[in-house]
Structure 1
Amino acid sequence: MYKETKLKQLKTNIFTVGFFSWWTYGILSSMELSLSLSNYVIQGLRLFGLLLLVADFFLTRKIDIKRFLLALIIAMFILFNNVMLTSTHYFFEIMIIVFAGVGIDFKSFLKKSFYYFLLVLTLIVGLASVNLIPNVTMFHNGRMRNMLGFNWPSFSAHYYLYIVSLAIIVRGKKITAIEIAILESLNIFIYLNTRTKSPFYLVTAFLILWFVFALLKYNISNLFIVKWGFLGFLPMISYIVYYLSMHYLTFTNLNQMLTGRLRLGNNALIMYPLTLLGKKTSLSAEVGVIGQTYAYVDSSFLQYMIKFGMISFIIFIGCFMMLQWRIIKYKNMFVLLAMSLVIFDGMFDPEFIQANYNVYFVLLATLLEPSSQWLAENESEETFLE
């Protein structure tokens, strides 16, 4: 037993270092600073991280053969459909992350992720605020927006949203009013600089919900409507986004409020009708580039449907729904709340399908294990103020 515990700690530590190295490559690639850094440094972090993750997989001692074989079949399809047909290579890296995550201490990993991500984002935003690293200002859609060290204004806001989701899991029912005030102050600071509305409002709303539920000391995951509403959340909002985009002329005010996202989704659906399998698409995210028209689909779920096809989409949301079922089964209210926050964010923004934001891809590894006992541990860690 002692030997197994030590091996699990070793596996978790190697996985964590590997994932953080890979994640750091992702965040550096999205910064203005990347223009002055050697590409060998950035790609070196990526390669080092992936090599550690591959090595970590071979430390896995207990594998459920039936689950592993099913996962392998799904992985082979994703390789063919998402990687080969669409040339989207990061899905290969996501599969490495998921397989390497089998058998790690997920609670320890999420806790370390929260602290590391918060430290890195605070460092980037702090240095950019005092102009020690590039902090470009742009005027877009009538808004003056600071990029806070990144190469697009909304990046810091979405990274912060995922950090708050991790804070919900790490602190759980022991959250204090002072901590909520600190988290909301950071949220306001990022909003005033970037003018990124959606993550600001979502973070504010979920901080309030988190504090209220923690005070009430009532586990809302026991409620019938919460259980089944959470389980049906992904297919429901995916259909809503598709329907609103197809009929955007009926929802002109909503389209305007969403800065044209419904119209862009409609244009993409006309250019690239939904198919069973994936296909190469060209939806430019460039702004102000001569000869290119901005055509990016922001919704994670609509983008996935268009680019990777309906078979892959059903597998994708099916895997996350199985993860959600486990969260319901173990009645972990705070993981439920954290997942709801990032799913809401994915409704009209692309970060949910990007693993350098969505750390919850790692939790799909729990589906290769017969149980997820760590979810039953609804206790939280010490205050991060201490």
Structure 2
Amino acid sequence: MKRQATFEREELLIDQSGNSNDYKVVNSNIFTLSDWVFFIGLLIWSLNEFIKFSEISKSVPDFLPMTFRATGLAIVVISFFLRDFLRINGIRFLVVTVLLTFILFNNGILAGDGNWIDIVILSIGSIGVHYNRLFSMLAGYRFIINGALIFLAVRSVIPNQVEISQNRLRFYLGYNWTSFAAHTILFLTLLLLWAKRNDLKLWMFAGLLFINFWTYSQTRTKAPFFIAVFCLITWFVASRFKIHYLNSRLLYYATILILPMLTLLIFYLSYNVNRFPEIDTLLSTRLSLGRTYIDQYGLTMFGHPVYESTYFDWFGRAYQTLDSSLMRYIVKYGLVSTGLFMSLWMYISRRVANTKDFYLDLLLICLALEAFGDPWFLFASYNIFIILLGSVALKDDQFRAVVKSD
């Protein structure tokens, strides 16, 4: 293919010496045409679950969200074949493709979770995209569409449902569940953390803090609010002290090990829930629900469907779901996929930790804390960072090129 001369970026090129294993970085950060095509596909794809998880779903034809999903994924696939700058090791790419295909088959087909079809396609399609620019532009897009939704709900243009739970008045803010808005704002905060890093202005810090406090006052959803406040205060303090690259062994190992350690912790607490009633209450009976699933399904090697019901009704249908992303992965997708996913994520985390970029370490820690209690870590419509699975196909210098700040 001809080089896209009008679109410069950090391109990864074969060295002129002819050694296909040696790479050099041409310094530019502007998106190529293929990156723009990927971004457009991602925007269209995002409308699928944005509609499904909001009151808009009641006002549009049922086929429309699926149309956005299929169209967006098709454009993502096209963008990959337009990416003529990419020169990756064929063996690495083959291995990553096989591993992600297994995850797709195990999680998507055996466990019946079609969400993983999207994750795998987006992960492979994003290989070589400059993540910093991608996440920055995606943050703006998601702020616009979600901000418009919340505004319409507050102004009663669309329904703003309300419920009373544990003496708390909780507004839905245009979504189909009370907690959706809070988790949306958390992940928007994390997108900006990746994009801005040490360039956090006072007005942005104050604005994000106000938005998170206001969302909490409306939804009374605690976990994402506490994570967001922790993230924002840590981010702000680090930026005020001009911290960007930090050589800390403690932070290095914490970044790599936090997700598998929290996985072991949530499983241990759930299995021994009778010994930790206070923690179970603090976590809104997530431990009890986890133990229920362990008793029902045990630990399996491969994925399988599980019963879930998130609605109460007059016919006695029990509320039962796996809120924790980490418990969900173990119980629903099996031990083989759990071990594989944790290995891939630890490999990505090690690469991030090797950059010594404090803000990326902070982001991965916040993602792990979110995964401990809630399911949205496993949804690309919330946690777009999960597409970093595709970056395993890149060599170390290529990875550093596509995650570095502008």
Considering the TM-score relative to the shorter chain, is it more than 0.5?
yes
Distance between the aligned counterparts of 2:193 and 2:296, measured in 1? 40
The answer to whether 1:143 aligns with 2:168 is yes
**Matching of residue 3 in structure 1 with residue 5 in structure 2:** yes
Asked whether the equivalents of residues 286 and 373 of structure 2 are also in contact (C-alpha less than 8 Å), the reply is yes
**Alpha-carbon spacing, 1:60–1:29, altered in 2? closer, same or farther (3 Å):** same
Deviation for aligned residue 1:330: 1.5
Question: Structure 1 CA distance, aligned partners of 2:95 and 2:371?
Answer: 27
User: Given residue 234 of structure 2, which amino acid in structure 1 is its aligned partner?
Assistant: L
Equivalent residue number for residue 363 of structure 2:
338
1:281 lines up with 2:283 in the alignment = no
2:181 is aligned, of 135, 141, 156, to 156
Q: CA deviation at 1:378?
A: 4.0
- What displacement does 1:40 show? 2.5
- Contact kept, 8 Å, 2:123 with 2:387, in 1: the verdict is yes
Retained in 1: the 8 A contact 2:252–2:354?
A: no
Residue pair 2:110, 2:305 contacting (<8 A) in 1 also = yes
1:196-345 alignment, distance < 5 Å: 196-219=221-244, 221-288=246-313, 290-345=315-370
CA distance in 2 between partners of 1:11 and 1:333 (Å): 30
Return closer, same or farther for 1:378/1:6 CA change in 2, 3 Å cut-off: closer
Offset, 1:219: 4.2
Instruction: Identify which range, 213-222 or 183-192, moves more after superposition.
Output: 213-222
CA drift at 1:319: 1.4
Q: 1:45 to 1:3 in 2, by over 3 A?
A: same
Distance 1:273 1:111 in 2: 41
How many residue pairs are counted as aligned between the two chains? Answer: 379
Aligned to 2:60: 37
Specify the alignment match of 2:135 in structure 1: 110
2:403 and 2:324 map into 1 onto residues whose CA distance is 32
Q: Matched residues in 1 for 2:403 and 2:33: separation?
A: 23
Query: Compared with structure 1, are the counterparts of its residues 9 and 239 closer, same or farther at alpha carbon in structure 2 (3 Å cutoff)?
Result: same
Deviation for aligned residue 1:283: 2.3
Q: Which of the numbers 43, 49, 52 marks the counterpart of 2:72?
A: 49
How far apart are the structure 2 equivalents of 1:123 and 1:374? Answer: 34
Answer whether contact 1:158 1:199 (CA < 8 A) is retained: yes
Counterpart amino acid of residue 36 in structure 1: S
User: CA distance change for structure 1 residues 288 and 257 in 2, over 3 Å: closer, same or farther?
Assistant: farther
Q: Which amino acid aligns with 1:304?
A: Y
> 1:172 and 2:197 equivalent?
yes
SS of the counterpart of 2:311? coil
Counterpart residue type for residue 12 of structure 1 = D
For the 8 Å contact 2:101–2:120, the answer to whether it is kept is no
> Equivalents in 1 of 2:291, 2:105: separation in Å?
27
What is the Cα-based RMSD across aligned positions, in Å?
Answer: 1.8
SS of structure 2 residue aligned to 1:3: coil
Q: Per-residue deviation at 1:339?
A: 2.0
Match of 2:401 in 1: 374
Question: 1:234 and 1:310 mapped to 2: Cα distance?
Answer: 15
Deviations 1:264-312 (Å, cap 9, x if unpaired)?
1111111111111111111222234633101111110101110000110
In 1, distance between residues paired with 2:403 and 2:135? 15
Equivalent of 1:21, from 44, 48, 55?
44
1:145 corresponds to which letter in structure 2? R
CA distance in 1, matches of 2:55, 2:346: 36
Q: Structure 1: any 5+ residue segments left out of the alignment?
A: 380-386
TM-score by length of 1: 0.94
Deviation string for 1:331-371 (max 9, x for gaps)? 22212212221211110100001111110022222211112
Three-state SS of the structure 1 residue aligned to 2:284 is coil
* TM-superposition CA deviations, 1:234-264 (whole Å, max 9, x none): 1100011001111111111111111111111
Counterpart for residue 121 of structure 1: 146
Is the 2:53–2:176 Cα contact (8 Å) retained in structure 1? yes
Task: Measure how far apart 1:3 and its partner are.
Answer: 2.8
Task: Select between 215-224 and 195-204 the one with higher mean Cα deviation.
Answer: 215-224
Which residue matches 1:382?
A: none
Where is the helix percentage greater, Structure 1 or Structure 2?
A: 1
3-state SS of paired residue (1:144): strand
> What secondary structure does 1:175 align onto?
coil
1:46-125 to structure 2, matched below 5 A, reads 46-61=69-84, 62-125=87-150
- Identical-residue share of aligned pairs (%): 27
- Give distance in 2, aligned partners of 1:353 and 1:320: 12
User: In terms of mean alpha carbon deviation, does 189-198 or 334-343 score higher?
Assistant: 334-343
- In 1: Cα distance, 2:6 partner to 2:345 partner: 29
Give the C-alpha shift of residue 103 in structure 1.
Answer: 2.0
1:150 deviates by: 0.5
- Equivalent position amino acid for 2:267 in 1: Y
CA separation in 1, counterparts of 2:318 and 2:128? 46
Which of the residues 2, 21, 35 maps onto 1:12?
35
Q: Give the letter for the 1:377 counterpart.
A: K
Change (3 A) 1:239 1:299: same
